[in-house]
Structure 1
Amino acid sequence: MTDKMKAVRLHAFGGPDVLCYEDAPTPMVNAGEVLVKVHAAGINPPDLYLRDGYRTLPPEWQPIPTFPLIPGTDISGVIATLGEGVTAFKPGDEVFAMVNFPDDLMKGSGAYAEYICVPAAQLAHKPQKLGYVEAAGAPMSLLTAWQFLINTGHDAPNPFQSFKHSPVALEGKTVMINGAAGGVGHLVVQIAKWKGARVIAVASGRHKAFLQDLGADEFIDYRLTAAESVSQKVDLVIDAVGGANMERFLKVIKPGGALYLVNPLGFAGHTIATELGITVTSTQVRSSGRQLCEAGHLLENGTLRIMLDSTFPLAHASLAHERASQGSIQGKIVLVI
């Protein structure tokens, strides 16, 4: 290991072309951290938002950057060095993690690189059944699904609402998932089925067989049928897409039901939801090695699967971001290092 590594860095905000594959200093491990030699890095929507300067956020939330910065949060790899005080891991351990999210939301957590320093509390041993690529596709999407559906796992203030998000019991419930084929959505489908729910998956038609294979009981091609036009009422809608007119899903939820918004910015139906007796709730995903370990057992025994949309070499991160921007993602996009 040398004092230089290859990394993808930003020197300015912009489109995929601003991602620069270049030499960067190898990070120095601090107490309570481990230095991981990265084998693969997952791509998530916040990576694209950061690259673009979070222009869709309210002005007071937009970052004041210190360039250059290395984007990315999700990694899998091998521990190279232990920092002082770390006892739960050893050099050579295969691990995966979502790194410093949302703490480094505005400056990049450093995953698009050959090496990264990770707080030991955010690490989990990689499920042996998974390769590095699949493991790198898991952390943010898996933790998002887990914290929405199973346990938030922390008491940090919720930036999206004044009350704590509290997952509802899923057994025997009917759950509609919008964006079911994406990184978060395909895991929500599987977790909901594991917990005993009946699942209605909403995605474009090309994903039908994929989602049925993951356990979806019913499929709606949103290009042919508006999801909110279904005649039956459901107990829970999980919108993993966001964007305009999220309020439309209130039409299909039973009184006393709930609407989970993975990206709640722009939702304007709180008054209507209150009148209908529907709980609208969201939460901010947070790094957790403990929860990755818990959910990792389900990856190990095959209850959950990480599906891959595509892979790209680290040097071609700009092409990976172009793919991510095209939409209709089936599973995860991963950089191979």
Structure 2
Amino acid sequence: MQGQSGPAATSRAVMLDSFGGPEVLDLREVPSPEAGDGQIRVRVTASGLNPMDWIMTADADTAARFGLSLPAGFATDYAGVVDQVGTGVTGFAAGDRVFGGALSRAVADFVVIDVPGHIASGVAHHTPDGGDDRTAATLAIAGSTAAAALAVLDLGPDDTVLVGGAGGGVGVFAVQLARLAGARVIGTGSASSSGFLAGLGAEPVTYGDGLVDRVRALAPGGVTAALDLHGTETVHAARALGVPDGRICTIATQVDGVRPANGAHAAPGALEEIAGLVAAGRLQVPIAASFPVEQVRAAVELQAGRHVRGKVVVELSDAP
């Protein structure tokens, strides 16, 4: 095995023995995982939170749909440094900075990742020069989901797209990627989020009763596409505005006739492209709050409130 770090029989991981809310999360000492054949071990520096993290660990039925059983870890997005490389692995070396996803086990000092892998067994991408670990730890789920959704819509300079829930974790990526594609973006949010949305490049509009009329006033020439990142309000508004179902996309719900997007189906290279845009300063990732791992419950409570503008990060160790 290449790049073996010093012996560490135990390390920290956030675990749960029962499904539920933030109160079931515990930071524990666990046996340190070791990289086997075809695997790398990553020393995690930060983990970004997503709604799916607490949704899929809230109850047993939902957890089962994601293949989770007790005891379980928590969260999926991570960034860190490779510190062990198993036999047969190519493309990674000890000391490489990486980011990616490890389904419901990312808030831990170490994660073991298959090479090549997928979201359940773990997946790793090289962190580009110029990118910091806190930001890289937010990219995997939200970035790939935004990329998959925008691939459904295939936006261009002639488009005006309505993005529902534009200030959330996926929204911050979707708005900016749509703008980079040349589209005009109208983003829904609360009245207090208008400045934040404008800073992302969206024209803000308040959600709720009267949304269709407010969008018509902003875009008398019409809306050509819509992305609903929260529920179904934006879908119904888009249909009322004459947007065909083929140019409407959802990520959080199923609507007959409307195609949903799943980050697992993002095009190859999409996430690396997003990471490159972030490192080059062309795409901003607002970090709403950052918590030490000892305060993971507070981090989840904030993220689960669904009013966070940007991303919430749990930090485990200092980046090298």
Could you tell me the TM-score, scaled by structure 2's length? Answer: 0.86
The aligned amino acid for 2:167 is: A
Partner of 1:320: 299
Q: Is residue 2:93 matched to residue 1:87?
A: no
How many aligned residue pairs are there? Answer: 298
Decide which of 20, 34, 41 is 2:40's aligned counterpart. Answer: 34
Is the 2:149–2:262 contact (alpha carbons within 8 Å) kept by the matching residues of 1? no
Q: Is residue 2:203 matched to residue 1:221?
A: no
For residues 277 and 101 of structure 2, what CA distance do their matches in structure 1 show? 17
Give runs of aligned pairs for residues 43-54 of structure 1, distance below 5 A: 43-53=49-59
Give runs of aligned pairs for residues 94-243 of structure 1, distance below 5 A: 94-99=97-102, 104=103, 108=104, 110-121=105-116, 122-150=123-151, 166-216=152-202, 218-222=203-207, 226-229=210-213, 230-231=215-216, 232=220, 233-242=222-231
Is the 1:54–1:63 contact (alpha carbons within 8 Å) kept by the matching residues of 2? no
Which secondary structure state, in structure 2, belongs to the residue aligned with residue 322 of structure 1?
helix
Decide which of 16, 20, 23 is 1:17's aligned counterpart. Answer: 23
Moved over 6 A (4+): none
Q: Is residue 2:245 matched to residue 1:261?
A: no
For residues 229 and 223 of structure 2, what CA distance do their matches in structure 1 show? 16
Q: Is residue 2:70 matched to residue 1:67?
A: yes
For residues 22 and 82 of structure 2, what CA distance do their matches in structure 1 show? 30
Is the 1:9–1:68 contact (alpha carbons within 8 Å) kept by the matching residues of 2? yes
Is the 1:182–1:331 contact (alpha carbons within 8 Å) kept by the matching residues of 2? yes
Is the 2:223–2:241 contact (alpha carbons within 8 Å) kept by the matching residues of 1? yes
- Please say which of residues 241-250 and 186-195 is displaced more in the overlay: 241-250
Q: Write out per-residue CA displacement over residues 78-128 of structure 1, whole angstroms, 9 at most, x where no aligned residue.
A: 1000122112111111111123xxxx5xxx2x1010000122332211133
Identity %: 29
Change beyond 3 A, Cα 1:256–1:114:
closer
Change beyond 3 A, Cα 1:30–1:291:
farther
For residues 76 and 65 of structure 1, what CA distance do their matches in structure 2 show? 22
Which secondary structure state, in structure 1, belongs to the residue aligned with residue 168 of structure 2?
coil
Gaps of 5+ in 2: 1-6, 117-122
Which secondary structure state, in structure 2, belongs to the residue aligned with residue 170 of structure 1?
coil
For residues 191 and 40 of structure 1, what CA distance do their matches in structure 2 show? 24
Is the 2:226–2:234 contact (alpha carbons within 8 Å) kept by the matching residues of 1? no
Which secondary structure state, in structure 1, belongs to the residue aligned with residue 263 of structure 2?
coil
The aligned amino acid for 1:21 is: L
1:221 CA drift (Å): 1.8
Q: CA RMSD in A?
A: 2.3
1:50 CA drift (Å): 2.1
Is the 1:9–1:22 contact (alpha carbons within 8 Å) kept by the matching residues of 2? yes
Is the 1:50–1:71 contact (alpha carbons within 8 Å) kept by the matching residues of 2? no
The aligned amino acid for 2:188 is: V
- Please say which of residues 27-36 and 179-188 is displaced more in the overlay: 27-36
Is the 2:148–2:265 contact (alpha carbons within 8 Å) kept by the matching residues of 1? no
Change beyond 3 A, Cα 1:199–1:169:
closer
For residues 64 and 147 of structure 1, what CA distance do their matches in structure 2 show? 23
Gaps of 5+ in 1: 151-165, 274-279
1:235 CA drift (Å): 1.0
Is the 1:299–1:305 contact (alpha carbons within 8 Å) kept by the matching residues of 2? yes
1:248 CA drift (Å): 4.0
